[in-house]
């Protein structure tokens, strides 16, 4: 299996632009997690899905952030409009039970 696939790996954009991050979980995994990593706050859980249904989105910072999982093999995290403080590495992870399998992350820089 190719593992969890995230795209893009790097994104540089200007404040106010829309950003869409994508994730393809491992086939057969029924839970998907989005995390954000920064030096200041470490790893923060933004939202997670179980069987494509959002279970807990309490970590989503504000209404500018939204996430979808239209099917078992694809999820998006969207930021609109983006702000410099959104600059971070965004990770997607999936699992069946037990341990999480992480993608390589999407490094977002908002200028």
Partner 1 sequence: AQSVAQPEDQVNVAEGNPLTVKCTYSVSGNPYLFWYVQYPNRGLQFLLKYITGDNLVKGSYGFEAEFNKSQTSFHLKKPSALVSDSALYFCAAPTSYDKVIFGPGTSLSVIP
Using CB under 8 A, list all residues that contact partner 1: 4, 31, 33, 35, 42-43, 45, 48, 50, 55-56, 91, 93, 98-105
- Of 3 and 16, the one with the shorter C-beta distance to partner 1 is 3
Nearest distance in Å: CB 91, partner 1: 6
**Token output for 70:** 């239209």
Q: Which of 89, 94, 100, 111 is nearest to 26 (CA)?
A: 94
Residue 67 per-residue DSSP state: E
Residue 75 per-residue DSSP state: E
Residue 61 and residue 23: Cα distance in Å, rounded?
19
- Of 56 and 83, the one with the shorter C-beta distance to partner 1 is 56
- Of 30 and 81, the one with the shorter C-beta distance to partner 1 is 30
Q: Which residues have a Cβ under 8 Å from the Cβ of 22 and sit 6 or more positions away? A: 6, 7, 8, 74, 75, 76
- Of 16 and 28, the one with the shorter C-beta distance to partner 1 is 28
Nearest distance in Å: CB 33, partner 1: 7
Nearest distance in Å: CB 21, partner 1: 14
């Amino acid at each position: 299996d190719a593992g969890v696939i995230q795209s893009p790996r790097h994104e540089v954009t200007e404040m106010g632009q829309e950003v869409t991050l994508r994730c393809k979980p491992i086939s057969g995994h029924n839970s998907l997690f989005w995390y954000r990593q920064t030096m200041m706050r470490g790893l923060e859980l933004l939202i997670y899905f179980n069987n494509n249904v959002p279970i807990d989105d309490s970590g989503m910072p504000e209404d500018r952030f939204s996430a979808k999982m239209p099917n078992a093999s694809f999820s998006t995290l969207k930021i609109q409009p983006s702000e410099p403080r959104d600059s971070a590495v965004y990770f997607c992870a999936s699992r069946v039970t037990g341990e999480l399998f992480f993608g390589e992350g999407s490094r977002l820089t908002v200028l």
